[in-house]
Amino acid sequence: MKVLVTGANGQLGYALQKTKAVFAANSELELIALTRAELDLAQLETISSMLDIYSPDAIINAAAYTAVDKAEGEAALAQKINADAVQQLVQWCEKNKKTLIHVSTDFVFDGKKSSPYDTADQTNPIGVYGKTKQFGEQFALNECATAYVVRTGWVYGEHGANFAKTILRLAGEREQLGIVSDQIGTPTYATHLAEMLWQLLLAKPEQKLWHFSDAGVASWYDFAVAIVEQAESVGLLNRKPAIKPITTLDYPTPAQRPAFSVLNKKATWDDLPVAPVHWQAGLAKMLSALKRS
| Catalytic positions, written as ranges | 129
* 283 close to 190: Cβ distance less than 8 angstroms: no
Q: What is the C-alpha to C-alpha distance for residues 116 and 265, in angstroms, rounded to an integer?
A: 9
Q: What is the C-alpha to C-alpha distance for residues 137 and 143, in angstroms, rounded to an integer?
A: 10
Sequence-separated (6 or more) residues with CB below 8 Å from residue 165: 156, 158
- Give CA 210 to chain center in angstroms: 13
Q: What is the C-alpha to C-alpha distance for residues 149 and 130, in angstroms, rounded to an integer?
A: 14
